[in-house]
Amino acid sequence: MLSGILFALAAGLMWGLVFVGPLMLPEYPAALHTFGRYLAFGLIALPLAFVDRAEIKRLSRADWLTALKLAAIGNVLYYLFLSSAIQRAGGALPTMIIGTLPVVIAVAANLLNHQRDGRFSWLKLAPPLALILLGIACVNHVEWAALLQNPQADTDRYITGAALAVGAVVCWTWYPLKNADWLRGHPDRNPRVWATAQGVATLPLAVLGYAAYWVWASATQHPLTMPFGPRPLEFVGLMVAIGLFASWLGTLCWNAASQRLPTALAGQLIVFETLSALAYAFWLRGQWPEPLTLAGIALLVVGVVGGVRVKAKTS
């Protein structure tokens, strides 16, 4: 139990990195953060695919098409929305919105009649959802008040960032449901190999996206120096770090935690990601969260933990 909790904590600490990358290099557009991250992840996945080449060869054309769809929406589009949201609205609010995912997925499973694991009681989901919404409202109130006090602030940019964070939630609500469908439809396949296949499928998307942005920047005479921008060493280092630690090692730690812990407990520990991301964001700001922000974070954690504890009805 203790080792499982420590693995989940390690996964959360590494996953939190993806929320602060756009804040560490704010002069780089979200597209470069996205394509750079997944270019690194795809290259890391290649040697893993070679190790599991026998299993990789078993994947059919339909399997690869599914992996491509999952990679496009669950990886590229998700992080494009998220990194754009963070650069527009700051780190706190988008992180809080993304932190609702464990409960939002349960709600989506109900709405989409994804009943393989049973349906959740709306009455039991309502209280944790109310706590989550109240927590987000608290953090948004603090961020919005701080924004209005800044005469140079762009409120439209902030609102757009919040909307993009919701788009990221939509992408990553769709992804686990579709990914679970494939895994359950292929019980004889290794989940590790399937994760590697998605990494390989992400690579051509990242290469094409990076090349397209380079062509666009050249055609429009964009001031950002290509291919690696004004701080090439920092950019390449950050992309490799996020690709290695967040995309690969974080997933390995989470899988290790999932093998050691009950599913209900593992689901609750996803909040480590949210807490880590918030801690990193406020550390970069060089300030301690406001009391109302801390209250909002506490409400979110209680709501997510309460929502994950709701049991599905199988009959």
- What pLDDT shows up at residue 1? 77
For 6-20, what is each residue's pLDDT tens digit?
888 998 899 999 999
**HSE of 86, CA atoms in CB hemisphere, 13 A:** 35
Residue with tokens 């292929």: 186
Residue 181 and residue 184: Cα distance in Å, rounded?
A: 5
Number of domains in the chain: 1
- Whether 36 is covered by a domain: the verdict is yes
Average pLDDT over residues 56-76: 94
Measured CA to CA, the distance from residue 29 to residue 271 in angstroms comes to 28
End-to-end Cα separation, the chain, in angstroms: 31
What local confidence, expressed as pLDDT, does residue 267 receive? 65
- Nearest Cα to Cα of residue 271 among 90, 66, 103: 103
> What's the confidence (pLDDT) of residue 47?
94
| In-domain check, residue 23 | yes
Task: Confirm whether 95 is domain-assigned.
Answer: yes
Nearest one of 249, 202, 204 to 67, comparing CA atoms: 202
Amino acid at 126: A
Evaluate if residue 231 carries a pLDDT over 70: yes
User: Greater confidence, 203 or 151?
Assistant: 203
Instruction: Determine, yes or no, domain membership for 228.
Output: yes
CA angle 314, 183, 103 (to 5 degrees): 50
Structural domain contains residue 314: no
Model confidence pLDDT, tens digit, residues 138-185: 999 999 988 888 887 788 999 999 999 999 999 988 988 888 788 878
pLDDT at 313 over 70: no
- Indicate left, alpha or beta for 21 from its phi (over 0: left) and psi (-120 to 50: alpha): alpha
Query: Distances in Å between the alpha carbon of 165 and those of 19, 70, 77, 86, 106?
Result: 11, 19, 11, 8, 18
DSSP state of 72: I
pLDDT of 264 higher than 60:
no
313 strand-pairing partners? 119
The mean pLDDT value of the chain amounts to: 87
pLDDT at position 55: 92
Taking alpha carbons only, the member of 33, 18, 17 closest to residue 224 is 33
| Owner of token pair 């499928």 | 201
Q: Identify which of 42, 268, 75 has the alpha carbon closest to the alpha carbon of residue 171.
A: 75
Q: Residue 269: what pLDDT?
A: 78
Can you give the pLDDT at residue 266?
67
Rounded to a whole number of angstroms, the CA Rg of the chain reads 20
| Structure confidence at residue 314 (pLDDT) | 58
pLDDT of amino acid 114: 55
User: What's the mean pLDDT in 91-117?
Assistant: 78
Residue 35, pLDDT > 60, answer yes
pLDDT (0 to 100) of residue 310:
75
Dihedral of CA atoms 59, 63, 69, 75 in degrees, nearest 10, equals -40
**pLDDT exceeds cutoff 70 at 100:** yes
pLDDT of residue 116: 57
Find the domain containing 134 and state its range.
Answer: 2-309
Domain assignment present for residue 157? The answer is yes
| pLDDT score for 83 | 95
Whether residue 315 lies inside any domain: the answer is no
